[in-house]
Structure formats: C-alpha cells, structure tokens
Structure 1
Amino acid sequence: MTSTATHAGPPAHLRTRWRLTPRTGISVLRAEVGKGLTVQLAHPVAHVVTLIFTTTVYLGLQYVIGQGTIQRDLLPRTLVGISGYWMLQFASMVMVADLVEEKRAGTFAQSRLTPAPLWLIMLGRLVTAAVMGVVVAVVATLVPMLVTGTTIPFTWAALVPYTLVVVNVLAFTFMLAAFALSSPMIGVLQSLLTSMVILLNGAVMPLSLFPAWLAVVARLLPTTMGVEATTKVLFEDRSLGDIWSDGTLPWLMAYTAVLVLLGWYVFVRNHRRALRDGRLGQY
C-alpha cells in the first residue's frame, strides 16, 4: 500500500505562514528530541540487557586475550575503544530502528506534511541518538573500570580527537539511516558493520598490535582513527601538536569531514529516490 501523501509537501497556507527562525527551529528540535527520548525510555529493559550482555562479552574477550587474566596495561586503552563502539552501537540503533519502524508504519512519509525542513527533523533525531549514545558509552565504560579497578588518565587535549570520534559516529549513523530508506537489509548491514568496529577499532586490543595491513583496514572504519589519536594523547604523553605533525590528527579531521559530507549526500539522494518511487509510503 502506498500513501498518497508521499509526494505532497505541506499545505499551501502553512508554507506561507510558517518561517524558520531560531525560536521555531528550537521548538521543532525540542519536539523531535522529546519524542525520541520518550520512545527510547519507554522500554529500557532491552537496552539494559544489551548493555549487560555486550559488557560481559567485552570482559570475556579480555580474559581470552590475556589467557585467563586481564592485561591491565592494555585495558585502559581498550576502554577508550569500547566507549566509541558503544556510542556507535546505540546511536545507530536509535536512529535506524526508529526510522525503520516509522517507515513501515507509514508515518515517516508524513514528515513531508510539515513546513519544517527535513534537515531540521533529522538533526533532532541525531541529537536523540547522540544523547543515548553518549550516556550508554559513559556507563558502559565506567562499569568495567569499577569491576577491574582500572583508571583512565584525563587530559583536556584528549577531548579534541574524542570530539571528532563523536562527530564521525553521528555521521556514520546518519549514513546508516540513509541506507535504511532504501534497503530492507539495513538490520543485517548495521550488525555487520558494528561487529567489525568492536573487533577493529581498538576495543579488543590496541591498534599498535595489529598487523600493518589490518591496521590500514581498521582505520577505514568509524571511530578507529579517533580512538587511536585519543590513546596517543592519553597514554603516550603526546600533545595536539605531536599528533598533528605525525599526521594522525589531520587524517582524522579529513576522515570525519568526508564521512559528514558522504552521509548527507547519501541521505539526500536516497530520500529523493524514495519520494520518486513512492517507497516512503509503503507499509
């Protein structure tokens, strides 16, 4: 069944009266974020179970790598990697799952009936994904720290590369949402990519221990270069100038910029194609 509202924009009287201003923009964002958080917090058990299971798997992998013991000299570095994975896992789950459900229910097509631009609505969804991802990442990192008595040293300079980790997580999440508009296999694709991330972004073992060819492949995945840059600052006493001069920070910035542009391009292209083919209204 295809909704006739798929190709329709907002009614003419709304197009003429509604204007995007800071006030109306904040109102739209508040409504979208509020809706998203309400949906996520309505069923917290699934999030808790997933968190417990994957944290157990993470600690189990550390025991396997350490041949029955946890290598405490490696654990702090891998905790930085696992935080990036958790952020990606939950942010993408929130963004993609909500979009797929609304698309199947036929309600996502109704976003064409609002005078608010699509990019503003999607920004609100990204904020929701970011909030969930960051909260879960913090909790999932603190729990293994408390269980194992591990600490991670802090320096303000590390916030620069880690902020880029957050940005490329959200950019990649946005790209997955773009694929969700056109691919019925998005769930499989999301699981495959996030599984690759936890294995290769430094969450299992530091990137410095990888074979050279595998390290190159790992750096093509989201969070890997950001985790690498962050661990250099935290554990190797590198300054921002140091990771700039060795190429780590410039490559990270370039990777993040490309991911942002690619994510937006893929979403705009797939959304237009879905509108043209009528797939947004199919349920």
Structure 2
Amino acid sequence: MSLILSIIGNEIYKRLRILLAYKMNIVTQIVTVALIFIGVSYFIENGQLNPAPLASILLGYLVWFYARVVIMSSSEDLMGEAQAGTLEQMYMSPIPASLLLFARMVALLLSTTIMVVIPMTILALLLRIQIPLRWEELAILALTLLGLFGFTLALSGIALIFKQIGALADLVQNALLFLTGALLPVSRFPEWLTIIAQSLPITQGIIVLRAVTLQQASLGQVWANGSLVLLCVNSACYLLGGMVIFKLGERVAKMQGSLGHY
C-alpha cells in the first residue's frame, strides 16, 4: 500500500511540476474551456444564456472535459514514451505497468481538476449559474471516472500495438461530447441513439450527476430507480474490459517485440 501511495505521490509531483513549468499553456487551456462552453451554450439556447438550463450543460461539459483531458493526455504520454524509446524501460521496472498508468491517471485527474475548477467557478459567477454542492456528487463523479479509467486502459492497450492513435483519441473525445448527453439530455435523443449513448463510458454518470445535483435526488433514490445501478454496471464493465484489452495489448506488443519501437 505504501508503494502505491509513493508512486501516486511521485506522479502527482511530476504532473504539478509540468503544470507550473508551462504556465502559458495552462492559461490558454483555461481560456479555451471557458470560450467553448460559452459558444456551445449560446447556440444550444438560441442566443440566450439563461442560468437555469446552463447548470445542466455545465455539469455535462465538466464530465466531458475530464474525459477529454484523460483520453488525449494518456494517449499522448504513451506515444511520447514510444517515440523517446522509454516505453520498454517502463516494462523493465519491477512495478506493473498498469499500476504506473493508474498513478498517472490519478495525477492527471488532480491537474485536470485545477484546470477545470478555475474557469467553471468564474463562469458560474459571471453567468449566475447555481449548482448546489453535495457530497453525493463526489461519489457519482468517482464512479464515472472509474469507468473512464477502464476505457482509457483499453485505448492504451491499443496504443501499445499501433503506437500512433492520436487521430482515434481525438475522434473518441469529440464523439463523447455529442453522444453522451453532455450538451443535450439523452432523453431528447432518438431511441436508437439513446441506446448507443447509454453504452458509452460517461453517459450514465452525467445522467445520475444531474439528478443528484439539480433534482436533489439522494443516492437511495437514484439506486431505487435503477440509474445508479446502471452506472455501477457500466463502470464495472468498462474497468474490467479495459484491463483485459490492456493486458492483451501488452501480450501482442511483447510477442511482436514492438515495445521498444515506434
């Protein structure tokens, strides 16, 4: 346990050092987050920025932004190590590669939180968006991110084999923005699209998070109506599936002898 905490601590320290070293990049990303949200909200609300509907959009956008950063950064980090020739060294370490990826994921989520909280707070104040803060929201967000971690593991497993998956990662994060109900509730989708949307990694998390935050539903209520159950099943499937795909990707890459090649 102490080893795991030590690895996570080291990854957090490294990620924060990178954040502080490239301040201009962080400022640019924060401004981008705010501008995209305002632009999307403006079009969805027909040129008006009403606080009530914006709260729902802000929650969905928040979860999607976590997914975007985690997916893009994880694939870029892995491809960067492959290009630098250090990917094989990671597998020579006595520490399992999956544990290192988990530690990087935790560090990435922490740095992403810093990048998200600042613009979201400013937007909420400027646009008068009221979002009640409850401890239940953290539990729902954690469950959602667990499924996202599994999904990212699957992409990492694919990256071990094909190396260059930047275009795939970009396609996936853009698809998640429009197909998960991040901007429009899934209830407004056609039935066939709703089925597809609910099979994606963050859709159910957004649904439950909105219910708990905006409708003040308790965890017991969302469990009773089945939405929390679906979230648990969805996250568990993605986590287990991601671990399996990652291990298969490792095995194939080792058999091909391509861990040290880009």
Superposed pair shares fold, TM > 0.5: yes
State the one-letter code of the partner of 2:13.
Answer: G
Aligned-pair CA distance for 1:181: 1.2
Residue 110 (structure 2) aligns with: 131
User: Structure 2 CA distance, aligned partners of 1:143 and 1:250?
Assistant: 34
Aligned-pair CA distance for 1:41: 4.1
Which of 142, 152, 163 in structure 1 is aligned with 2:121? Answer: 142
SS in 1 for 2:201: coil
Residue 14 (structure 1) aligns with: none
Report Cα offsets for 1:127-184 as digits up to 9, x if no partner: 2222123323323422321231211022333333222122222222222222221224
User: Structure 2 CA distance, aligned partners of 1:41 and 1:89?
Assistant: 21
Aligned-pair CA distance for 1:220: 1.9
Q: List aligned pairs for 1:57-206, cutoff 5 A.
A: 57-206=36-185
With over 3 angstroms needed to count, the CA separation of the structure-2 counterparts of 1:88 and 1:275, relative to structure 1, is: same
Using the aligned pairs only, state the percent identity: 29
Of residues 57-66 and 78-87 in structure 1, the stretch that sits farther from structure 2 once superposed is 57-66
SS in 2 for 1:74: helix
With over 3 angstroms needed to count, the CA separation of the structure-2 counterparts of 1:165 and 1:138, relative to structure 1, is: farther
Question: In proportion to residue count, which structure has more helix?
Answer: 2
Unmatched segments (≥5 aa) in structure 1: 1-21
Aligned-pair CA distance for 1:40: 4.6
RMSD: 2.1
With over 3 angstroms needed to count, the CA separation of the structure-2 counterparts of 1:202 and 1:41, relative to structure 1, is: farther
With over 3 angstroms needed to count, the CA separation of the structure-2 counterparts of 1:61 and 1:27, relative to structure 1, is: closer
Residue 270 (structure 1) aligns with: 249
Aligned-pair CA distance for 1:25: 4.0
Aligned-pair CA distance for 1:47: 3.7
With over 3 angstroms needed to count, the CA separation of the structure-2 counterparts of 1:255 and 1:87, relative to structure 1, is: same
Of residues 202-211 and 120-129 in structure 1, the stretch that sits farther from structure 2 once superposed is 202-211
Residue 5 (structure 1) aligns with: none
Q: List aligned pairs for 1:206-245, cutoff 5 A.
A: 206-245=185-224
State the one-letter code of the partner of 2:65.
Answer: W
User: Structure 2 CA distance, aligned partners of 1:57 and 1:276?
Assistant: 43
For the 8 Å contact 2:182–2:206, the answer to whether it is kept is no
User: Structure 2 CA distance, aligned partners of 1:130 and 1:185?
Assistant: 23
SS in 1 for 2:51: coil
SS in 2 for 1:254: helix
With over 3 angstroms needed to count, the CA separation of the structure-2 counterparts of 1:168 and 1:143, relative to structure 1, is: farther
State the one-letter code of the partner of 1:213.
Answer: W
With over 3 angstroms needed to count, the CA separation of the structure-2 counterparts of 1:265 and 1:144, relative to structure 1, is: same
Aligned-pair CA distance for 1:214: 2.3
For the 8 Å contact 2:12–2:107, the answer to whether it is kept is yes
User: Could you state the TM-score of these two structures normalised by the residue count of structure 2?
Assistant: 0.90
Moved over 4 A (4+): none
Which of 35, 39, 42 in structure 2 is aligned with 1:56? Answer: 35
User: Could you state the TM-score of these two structures normalised by the residue count of structure 1?
Assistant: 0.84
User: Structure 2 CA distance, aligned partners of 1:181 and 1:73?
Assistant: 44
Aligned-pair CA distance for 1:101: 0.3
User: Structure 1 CA distance, aligned partners of 2:149 and 2:169?
Assistant: 14
Aligned-pair CA distance for 1:96: 1.7
Of residues 181-190 and 220-229 in structure 1, the stretch that sits farther from structure 2 once superposed is 181-190
Report Cα offsets for 1:83-115 as digits up to 9, x if no partner: 101111112232221111011111010123322
User: Structure 2 CA distance, aligned partners of 1:123 and 1:218?
Assistant: 26
With over 3 angstroms needed to count, the CA separation of the structure-2 counterparts of 1:240 and 1:31, relative to structure 1, is: closer
With over 3 angstroms needed to count, the CA separation of the structure-2 counterparts of 1:162 and 1:35, relative to structure 1, is: closer
SS in 2 for 1:281: coil
